[in-house]
Amino acid sequence: MQDGYDELGMLADNAAEAGLPWQGQPAVRRVASELPDGRVISALEWGEGPDELVLLHGGAQNAHTWDTVALALDRPLLAVDLPGHGHSDWRPDHDYRPATLAEDVAVAITALAPTARLVVGMSLGGLTAIHLAATRPDLVADLALVDITPGVDDTKTGAITEFVSGPERFGSFDEILQRTIAHNPGRSVSSLRRGVLHNARPVPDGQWAWRWDPQRAMGRDGDGRLAFAALWDDLATAPAPVLLVRGGRSPVVDDADVAELRRRRPDAEVVVVDEAGHSVQGDQPVELARIVAERMGAPA
């Protein structure tokens, strides 16, 4: 199935499904930044000229989750493959906690998008962006979080964890696609097929495997529970303005999280996308692009 796979050859399908006008293949290319230890962070760079924003995906995703958003925005941007995901190298220590990821991402942004005006982070990418905003404020002038706060826990992410914690190998492409369809009943089969093509690969024995590192330390306490509460302090002290885009059908951010966000950051803006789950960029990409463009002071 991956013979002849063209990762940039399906963008017309993205546009058609979202009802976006197709004006020919956009300017998009693979770029990379080398880390001090020799590992490489890969990214997709869209448009011409200095990147105006940086997009950080969630755990077990990759930069292609933003394809339709990037098409709708139609402006220079950098969509990063987090370490251990997509085409970026895996960490030898398998440490993918937000603070660790932020150190690596800071190197990539410094090299590839140093003048970006907005960093958008979804889920794990959002937690990473929170720590980045607190520790490298020079790289985060404005911060947008997509359906994530430091109040996330295992109860809120139960269905997501069940999917991501499933088999590491599959007998065929169809098998991995069918599992994805079963866990995403609200998404079209065509969009999920594109997503699997971008996020999985055939291995030498003929089976299929996800591109992400299955040995992931994400940030858990001594009892094995997700523990990101310390990031509330980062969010409180980060100088960048904060926008939270909440999926109206998502359990990952609840009203208590929003209340805590408003307590810590009374200046925070909160927008709810009613017809979206946790993956707002997958469920309502054009609306998310509109919100992001408005945040940047220009219509999408």
Catalytic residues, which ones?
Answer: 123, 147, 278
Strands (E), 157-284: 169-170, 200-202, 208-210, 242-247, 269-273
Contacts of 32 (CB under 8 A, 6+ apart): 40, 41, 42, 43
Whole-angstrom distance, CA of residue 88 vs CA of residue 80:
9
| 178 CB-contact burial (10 Å; exposed 0-12 / middle 13-18 / buried 19+) | middle
Residue 242 DSSP label? E
* Total Cβ atoms within 10 A of residue 166: 13
Task: Order across the sheet with 200-202: list the strands.
Answer: 169-170, 208-210, 200-202
Whole-angstrom distance, CA of residue 96 vs CA of residue 113:
22
* Alpha-carbon distances, residue 193 vs 51, 197, 198, 204, 212 (angstroms): 29, 6, 9, 21, 17
